[in-house]
Amino acid sequence: MKMSKVLMPTLREVPAEAEIKSHQLMLRAGMMRKVAAGVYSYLPLGLKVLKNVENIIRKSMDSHDACELLMPAILPAETYQVSGRWDKFGPEMFRMKDRNSRDFCLGPTHEEVFTDLVKGEIHSYRALPITLYQIQTKYRDERRPRFGVMRSREFIMKDAYSFDRDAEGLDKSYKNMYDAYNEIFNNMGLDFIVVDADSGAMGGSGSQEFMVKSEVGEDTIAYCECGFASNIEKAVCVPEETACPEGDLAVEKIHTPNIKTIEDLTNALKIDEKVFVKTLIYNGDGKIVAVMLRGDRELNETKLQNYLGCTELTMADFATVEEVTGAKVGFAGPIGIKCPVLMDSEVALMKNYIVGANETDYHFINVNKDRDFTPDDILDLRTIVDGDKCPKCGKPISTVQGIEVGHIFKLGTKYSEALGCGYLDENGKEQPMIMGCYGIGVNRCVAAVIEQHCDDNGIVWPMSVAPFKVSVVPVNVSDETQMNMAEEIYNTLTAKGIDVLMDDRDERAGVKFKDADLMGAPIRITVGKGAKDGLVEYKLRAGGDVLNMTPDEALAKVYELVK
């Protein structure tokens, strides 16, 4: 491509709306522009990267025997109603009615549609296993679209679905996709780890996420040197023994006016924060529950949501808290509360602790489970933190932020049973198909690659995803020798099928170099004053010296790197 002919509007200033590097650079390099919150147009540079990422994915999917097809984005409600997800998706699903008032949605993910297709087309064990996939646009009305294409409302996903005869078959199909994903993310030049993940609204048994390590990642990963790696949403906590007051102490109600925070309370009573047990009131799809956690711990909302099986989970509003506790907010406790009480496993090991008294300005001290109240259930509800015991080996856990670029699930029969997708086995008996599903966020991969491959001057593309492998910069476009040499290099590379960007604009060399660095082609060939002596300058974007050489030598180097 020649810059004079294409739309590549680069920006010098950092756009104010962009908080993270990849978002800033995608705007500054002219890869994309915003149309609405979480909705973007891709300009030529962005589109080329997107296609490269898609093709890396397609190549590995195809070589792992997955079969590509393409589904629509507009989907009728029926199959989602049958699976239960029409309701479960809640406000994240874009919905609409057609002119005859029939319900449709813009597909947020396609399990139902693939299952329905296979139900109609495959009837015998002989046609199984099969893995189908598409690279297609998804729609989710995210609560908080942000970070550019990292979390957008319209995005491209590679989604794949496997159909097997039995659990063993699913294990094989899942492993096959696991291998494909490792190949795909390695080919994109990403530094990633695979972690155990929550299966969430998708249902099913096992699932793993492919996480790109990055400080801007919205997910937190707990990992250990023993090989344990899990999304903290899922990571099981080992209950810690808390040092509590000893003996069989009597419950006492104490007056604690003007206490607003746990810190106020522990300061006033001169106790360790850990001997205080907080009681949080939550609302899961309208069901109110109280959750008891040690004072210094955080609730893991995913664990609570999975336990309650709810779609929307929020902290209860003040009115609800006052209703179930009979007190102002800040004095909730398990004794006498008018809602079910769930206790974190760690609290179950504690004794003689402090809780709110369900009476404004009062707390109870020396509270003990079973003697003073009985929780409705005891389970792991807290969020794992740095230094916690590894649930696998017991050594201290570390945490790091990650960007989820891919997710693989063992779905089992959730969708095949709901939608009646079965096959006839060798004995002519009807069996439900066993399914897996496998997603990759294509646009999010582009952003993740940039997060890991950039410097102060712009993007530093890995060769595999680079929109252009070479940037050819004639310094003075009115110099015939320079232009002829640049044209020849451009034509030779283009004829070889290598993507080249020639900056044939009548701009100062400094401007061209800045833009070349910003757009990040791995190799730059500058045709300047040396042209009259038959020389060009060769430089790698990732660093290193400017080397003088003949065009043929430069081309030879390009072939070597591009191959």
**Residues found near ligand ATP in the complex (CB under 6 A):** 109, 140, 142, 151-152, 155, 157, 404-407, 439, 441, 443-444
User: 3-class SS at 518?
Assistant: helix
Pairing of strands 341-344, 377-379: parallel
- Residue 300 burial (10 A CB sphere; 0-12, 13-18, 19+): buried
Between strands 454-455 and 458-459, the pairing is antiparallel
Nearer to ligand ATP, 109 or 366 (CB): 109
Write down the least CB distance from residue 167 to ligand ATP, Å: 22
Q: How far is the CB of 130 from ligand ATP (least distance, A)?
A: 21
CB of 335 to ligand ATP, least distance (A): 38
- Least distance to ligand ATP, CB of residue 475, Å: 40
- The residue among 293 and 437 lying less far from ligand ATP, judged by its C-beta, is 437
Least Å distance, CB 401 to ligand ATP, is 13
- Please give the Cα distance from 368 to 294 (Å, whole number): 13
Strands 154-164 and 74-76: unpaired
Q: How far is the CB of 108 from ligand ATP (least distance, A)?
A: 8
Instruction: Determine the number of helices (DSSP H) and then strands (DSSP E) in the chain.
Output: 15, 31
Comparing CB distances to ligand ATP, the nearer of 78 and 142 is: 142
Pairwise CA distance, residues 210 & 405, whole Å: 6
CB of 143 to ligand ATP, least distance (A): 10
The residues with which 87 forms a beta bridge, in sequence order, are none
| Min CB(437)–ligand ATP separation in Å | 8
Pick the closer one to ligand ATP by CB: 8 or 195. Answer: 195
Distance, in Å, from the CA atom of 85 to the CA atom of 78, rounded to the nearest integer, reads: 10
Which residues are within 8 A (CB) of 363 and not within 5 positions of it... i.e. 6 or more apart? 253, 254, 256, 259, 265, 331, 333, 354, 355, 356, 357
At closest approach, how far in Å is the CB of 398 from ligand ATP?
A: 21
Q: In this structure, what is the dihedral angle of CA atoms 40, 467, 495, 517, given to the nearest 10 degrees? A: 120
d(CA 178, CA 209): 10
Structure tokens at 317: 């509003």
Smallest gap from Cβ 211 to ligand ATP, in A, equals 9
Looking at this protein, which amino acid is placed at residue 315? M
Closer to ligand ATP at the Cβ: 158 or 512? 158
* Residue 170: both structure tokens together: 């699913």
3-state secondary structure of 129: coil
Task: Report how far apart, in Å, the C-alpha atoms of 560 and of each of 296, 304, 498 are.
Answer: 57, 54, 12
Q: What radius of gyration, in Å, describes the C-alpha atoms of the chain?
A: 29
> Which two tokens mark 404?
């989820």
266 Cβ contact partners less than 8 Å away, ≥ 6 residues apart: 272, 273, 276, 295
Nearer to ligand ATP, 334 or 441 (CB): 441
Cβ nearer to ligand ATP, comparing 333 with 406:
406
155 or 513: CB nearest ligand ATP: 155
How buried is residue 258: exposed, middle or buried, by Cβ count under 10 Å (0-12/13-18/19+)?
exposed
Closest CB to ligand ATP among residues 151, 541: 151
Of the candidates 415, 497, 484, the one whose C-alpha atom is nearest the C-alpha of residue 113 is 415
User: Closer to ligand ATP at the Cβ: 201 or 308?
Assistant: 201
- Provide φ and ψ at 40, rounded to 5°: -130, 150
Q: Name the residue with the smallest CB distance to ligand ATP.
A: 441
State the minimum distance, in angstroms, from the CB of residue 405 to ligand ATP: 5
Shortest spacing between CB 156 and ligand ATP, in angstroms:
8
SS3 540: strand
CB nearer to ligand ATP: give 38 or 422: 38
Output 303 or 444, the one with its CB closest to ligand ATP.
Answer: 444
**Residue 4 to residue 122: CA distance in whole angstroms:** 52
